[in-house]
Structure 1
Amino acid sequence: MGRRPNSDERRAQIVSALQMVMARSGYAGATVAEVARHAGLAPGLIHYHFRDKREILVALVDALAGYAQDRYESRARACGTAWQKLDAYIAAYLAYGADAQPDAVAAWVMVGEQAAHDADVREVYQAALGAQMKVLKSILRKVFAERGRRARRLDHLVAAVSAFIQGAFTLSTTARPLLPAGFAAPMLTLWLQRYMDAEDER
């Protein structure tokens, strides 16, 4: 049997090109021709690996979710407590670092915009966001347990933290000049610390 062509590498190359183009031009501006140009491929090769632009977008959602999860896991490995893992989760999503990809944040915001009016994209987007929220919920439950407290309204807290993160993504993409540099991760950590302290006092 002959050697399998480098389909996985080509697909990753195309998905990466869509991320780059979407971050600058949005989904509507990310034509197959423009994606091909950024990938350094002929447009025909795009269609060989993907049926259409929407299929590339679905693959991009998976890639972006995987990137965020990898950032979290690389930070969580050194953590000993649940609170440290919560810090790692916040840093993975909101802090800068050598592994940061600003294009990934901008592309994720564009994916969310597309999900608002495309049922297929919405399904994949919600699945990826749901997986992130499941990890967060597990971490927060353990934080409460470490403090000897029962987690009350945990789903509400998970939703609030997720809304903060998604809102920070949107603002950093659409209104960066209005934001203090590096505000998001420290402020979310401080807000959660005060929330936990208030819960301890109840």
Structure 2
Amino acid sequence: MPRPSNTEARREQIVAGLLKAMAERGYEGASVAEIARAANLSAGLVHYHFKDKQEILLTLVGSLASRARQRFATRTSRLAADDARGRLDAFVDAFLATGPDSDVAAVSGWVTISAEAIRQPEVRVAYEAVVRADLEQLESLVAAVVGKRRARPLAAGLFAAIQGYFVLSASAPGLVPPGSAAGTVKRMAAGLLDAAGPLVRDDA
């Protein structure tokens, strides 16, 4: 894999700085000076690579989405291609499981992004694009188990549970027993899918 250019590396450093600054001060409090401090760079370098704070935030949306998708890809690489239930569990684990690749700051950052999506139309567009793509992927995973006709409402419910855990863990972490989120949602998924019945071949 080629090494990132100095510009790419600097941009990634700045985006990571925003994530750190938001965890400490929220988006409003994450000034360019605070982002620069968190990234161990000068404010001038931040301004050189990004026109404003919103552009950094929009880049962070894509960065966090890529992290979750990479976790999913890593988990599914160990599964058989026809392991539909395993792939669905891997999706839930990629978003919620604790472990060496978990990222509390990323979860908190995603909750902040969802709040900014309500306030800023440009952020809403980027946020909706990521959520739509992730929900469509989850729907396809559910469809592999129960068929297309029944997949959408089940996928929407599971995705809402995932997003709800994000909010709880970021805003009221003491309410969520440590390490419980992924297991609970996987049990919810199993119950919903079993209740829906086996895959109906003519609706796949």
TM-score w.r.t. the length of structure 1 is 0.91
- What is the aligned counterpart of 1:161 among 138, 158, 163? 158
Aligned match of 1:176? 173
Listed one character per residue, the Cα deviations across residues 121-177 of structure 1 (whole Å, up to 9, x for unaligned) are: 000000011111121111111122xxxxx3434222221111111110000011111
CA distance in 1, matches of 2:192, 2:148: 12
Instruction: Give secondary structure in 1 for the equivalent of 2:78.
Output: coil
Write the distance in 1 (CA, Å) between the matches of 2:135 and 2:75.
17
In 2, Cα distance between equivalents of 1:26 and 1:70: 26
Q: Percent identity?
A: 41
Give unpaired runs (5+ residues) of structure 1. 145-149
SS of the equivalent of 1:152 reads helix
The letter for the 1-side match of 2:74 is: S
How is 1:1-202 mapped onto 2 (pairs within 5 angstroms)?
Answer: 6-80=6-80, 81-144=83-146, 150-200=147-197
CA distance in 2, matches of 1:153, 1:198: 11
CA contact (8 A) 2:145 2:193 kept: no
- CA offsets, 1:22-75, max 9 Å, x none? 122211011100000011111011010000000000000000000000000000
The residue type equivalent to 1:7 in the other structure is: T
Contact 2:154 2:192 in 1 (8 A): no
Moved over 6 A (4+): none
Could you tell me whether the CA contact under 8 Å between 1:23 and 1:104 is conserved in 2? no
Task: Report the TM-score, using the length of structure 2 for normalisation.
Answer: 0.91
- Structure 2: runs of 5 or more not aligned: 199-204
2:119 & 2:29 partners in 1: Cα distance?
A: 16
With 188-197 and 47-56 compared, the bigger mean Cα shift is at: 188-197
What amino acid does structure 1 have at the position aligned with 2:135? M
Which residue type is aligned with residue 136 of structure 1? L
Say what the alpha-carbon RMSD is for the aligned residues.
Answer: 1.5
Contact 1:90–1:185 (CA<8 Å) still a contact in 2? Answer: yes
In structure 2, give the amino acid aligned to 1:18: L
